[in-house]
A = this chain, B = another copy of it.
């Protein structure tokens, strides 16, 4: 038996702003997240204690000195740590909901080292598994200025890549609040959605190739830079969104679009979600090819941002509204875009779809408006424990979920001062039919969980939605997969997992029920 591994994605969900954030990027956001983490009010219980049903796989061995000696022999100095403080960031998630007991983190600096580690590994319990971080694999391997194909190591930080491309007139096809710390390999492994999906589509379309180390150490070299390639099964697709359960992504080839010369951002205040939908339908008609984001949030969301973040002061709208919409356009001709946006907004105001609105006049204002939207998850987590749900649904019923949940919790007498729940908020990507439902509570308790679940999953299944639009499954939703996938689908997933990782050493206990 040999040690089992856990991949450190450093991705939005697991490590939103905690790890590897260089001070130069979004310092305010990084810092606040760090301090949030540091000034923790809660001591998170070990996941092993919280989930007594989760039994250690007896076929996994315990980590030994011999294992450590071997890893030291193949890694560069300082690429291995057993230090408790170093490990803290990997053993805790940013929501302080989960806490592992890993005693070892490895930071390989090459694909070959990753391959050697996996070849060696074979089993250790979930509570002291080996963490592999790709943070040291952070080089751009190539960039094609004609096609926009970027090839890089998995540990490159999303914002670093976006800045690299900006200098060359290109843009990363994805963007998310955690850009300053998340790794591109983690983005791909979790199929991150984010703020640009509406315009540039999902990673299943934009990722051109992957380099993946399989559990037996085999390197799958599929770092194609071609936009089209119909030679055999498109194997890379299986690893996109597999959350490290099939292999470790070490390299990524991705198609970057040209960066738009003109960016406009507008913030609108609306009375109802019906109006949000009308504004969205019209934006598809009138803004069409220049529309690059259509985000919304509710009054409860902005209240939290105002309470907890500096960005709360960014809201330029005078009076309060029940709904807010942030619209972004990106195009190649500023005059044309201004004209399209102006005429679209005039139409909305004229038809009383929108009550109030502003258009950013410079890049600072653009950034400030985005900071409100991007600050919502952080503001929510600052208010205590957060139950986060990330749901895909047909747009017409998108907000009904929030109302029904609020109703349910209020009827149960769980909401208000001194009660279990502080606030139920809804926000998300209207353009993608993606709602983020957050319930801010005073702590993670069985009582609150039972009020929310399985209600939220049943509601979603009833409306033909998905219980995870972009956040993935992890440990939390593995056992709820059946709400979104049929037995035949889950059966085939398990056969794939068994085929590629027969010993189950990759991110065990997670993803599949």
Interface residues, chain A, with chain B CB atoms under 8 Å away:
144, 146-147, 169, 190-191, 193, 197, 201-202, 204-206, 214, 218-222, 224-235, 237-238, 240-242, 246, 258, 260, 277, 280-281, 284-290, 330-333, 336, 339-340, 392-396, 429, 432-434, 464-473, 477, 481, 484-486, 488-490, 492-493, 495-497, 499-500, 511-512
Asked if residues A332 and B394 are in contact (CB atoms below 8 Å), the reply is no
A253 to B460, CA, bound (A): 19
Q: For residue A467, which residues in chain B have a CB less than 8 angstroms away from its CB?
A: 231
**Do B395 and A146 have beta carbons less than 8 Å apart?**
yes
Q: Are B499 and A495 interface neighbours, CB within 8 A?
A: yes
| CA of A146 to CA of B431, assembled, Å | 10
29 A–B pairs (Cβ distance < 8 Å), ordered by A: A146-B280, A146-B394, A190-B230, A193-B228, A193-B230, A204-B237, A220-B489, A222-B485, A226-B393, A227-B434, A228-B429, A229-B466, A231-B485, A232-B484, A233-B238, A233-B242, A234-B238, A234-B240, A234-B241, A235-B492, A237-B237, A238-B238, A260-B288, A289-B331, A289-B332, A332-B340, A336-B336, A495-B499, A496-B499
Q: Is the CB of B147 within 8 A of A488?
A: no
Give Cα distance in the complex from A432 to B208, angstroms: 12
A481 x B260 contact (CB < 8 A): no
Q: A147's contact among B394, B495, B497, B511, by CB below 8 Å, is which?
A: B394
Tell me which residues across on chain B come within 8 A of A286, comparing CB atoms: 332
A207 vs chain B, min Cβ distance (A): 9
The answer to whether B332 and A336 touch across the interface, beta carbons within 8 angstroms, is: no
Q: Which residues of chain B are within 8 angstroms of A228 by Cβ–Cβ distance?
A: 193, 197, 202, 392, 429, 432-434, 466, 469-470
Q: Are A222 and B489 in contact (CB under 8 A)?
A: yes
CB-CB < 8 A to A280: which residues of B? 146
Q: Known: A225-B394, A488-B221. Is A512-B202 also a contact (CB below 8 A)?
A: no
Which residues of chain B are near A147, meaning CB under 8 Å? 394-395, 433
Asked whether, in the complex, the Cβ of B191 is within 8 Å of the Cβ of A232, the reply is no
Alpha-carbon distance A50/B61, docked complex (angstroms): 57
Look across to chain B and name the residue whose beta carbon is closest to the beta carbon of A255.
B201
Contacts of A226 in B (CB 8 A): 392-393, 433, 464-466, 469
- Residue on B with the closest CB to A292? B289
Which residue of B is nearest A511, CB measured? B232
Name the B residues within 8 Å of A214 (CB-CB).
Answer: 492
In the bound complex, residues from chain B placing their C-beta under 8 Å from that of A197 are 227-228
Q: Which of chain B's residues has its CB closest to A227's CB?
A: B432
Contacts of A429 in B (CB 8 A): 228
* Complex: chain B residue closest to A231, CB-CB: B484
Closest CB pairs A-B (n = 9): A205-B205, A237-B237, A288-B332, A228-B469, A229-B466, A226-B392, A231-B484, A336-B336, A201-B205
Q: How far is the CB of A276 from chain B (nearest CB, A)?
A: 12
* A254 smallest CB distance to B (angstroms): 13
